[in-house]
A and B are shown apart, each in its own frame.
Chain A
Amino acid sequence: MEMVQNHDPNTPLEYQSETGRLNILGFWVFLGAEIALFGTLFATYFALMYRTGNGPTPGELFEIKGVMIETFLLLTSSFTCGIAVHEMRRHNKKGLMIWMIITLLLGLGFIGFEVSEFISYVHEGATLKTSAFWSGLFVLVGTHGAHVSVGILWVSAVLIQVARRGLVPATAKKVFITSLYWHFLDVVWIFIFTGVYLTRMVISHG
């Protein structure tokens, strides 16, 4: 058990224990490392951007419609995740559960669209080993997709704990940390949307 602190009742649950505060700070440090990881993958992608070899070019295969659907699904899921934490801070366990489950469904929708996008690339003859460009793309976008998948499993596990143990400082801290993770994935996707898909379409058009 954690030491009981004398705190002001207005302090959100997740910050009430020393462990909670340190875990949240530690998670921010982890997100800093994740930014460096994705920065490296973006750098690789940009360096290999024109190395399509004899394979298909992204201009032939990228489709704005699917990418926009993925973007709006993820943006909306980030919003519903924020609402879930807002409900948690009002000590509304049911509200937290409902909004988090909506978030998970939106996340699953995102993964569904991404998987079908990847499958269609492979059908068109663009696989991980087709060219340096496609390697860079699959690794960057795939790493993000893997993060979202892990996020779905992680949030589900935390929700089960909340359902069993209720809203206490220990579970609130976990919900808050998973929400940071989820918003972070949305930030990364915005840069993938901008730097990978939109930029490429601008170059193909121009």
Chain B
Amino acid sequence: MASHSESRFPWKHLVGFIFSIVLTLIALWVGLYSGFSTKMIITFIVILAILQAIIQLFMFMHVTESENGKWQTGTMLYAAFIAVAIVAGTIWVMSFGMGYMDHKDMKDMKGHDKMEMKHDDSGNMDNMDMN
């Protein structure tokens, strides 16, 4: 059972708040001013977002607290797995052969579409235009 260990001053919350502000500012800087490659930036800011989620869960939401702490943590891990499977799985399937986020490949794909248009008159190809 959660013991009543809260001190008079809410240090845990203050530290969590400062961390979340700092992580947001780092994400902003990395995103707009760092000049790293697009893939690296996106990997980095996604890691920062996951860190922020962990801070919220532990510093603010007390996820491990109470006699049900293990079940709560397990539920969150399971839900995170489901979310990653849905998001990553969808991006993977929907971008199959499209060179997602890679403009060189996109140009190739456009050329590829024109070739396919000859065989396929479904009319959907106009919508495939990226950007």
Contact = CB atoms under 8 A, between A and B. Distances in A.
Interface in B6-21: 6, 8, 10, 13-14, 16-17, 20-21
A21 B1 CA distance: 11
Chain B's interface size range is 35 or more
B1 A8 contact: yes
A51 B31 contact: no
A62 to B, nearest CB: 12
Interface in A4-34: 8, 10-12, 15, 21, 24-25, 28-29, 31-33
Interface of A is mostly: helix
A115 interface: no
Contacts of A44: 90
Contact of B56 (A47, A71, A183): A183
Nearest to A47: B94
A68 B28 contact: yes
A53 B91 CA distance: 19
A72 interface: yes
A160 to B, nearest CB: 24
Contacts of B21: 72, 75
B92 to A, nearest CB: 10
A201 B31 contact: yes
A83 interface: yes
A198 interface: yes
A133 B17 CA distance: 33
Given A35-B82, A36-B86, A90-B6, 18 more contacts: A10-B3, A21-B68, A25-B72, A31-B75, A36-B82, A46-B94, A75-B20, A78-B20, A183-B60, A184-B61, A187-B52, A190-B20, A190-B52, A193-B49, A194-B27, A198-B27, A202-B42, A206-B41
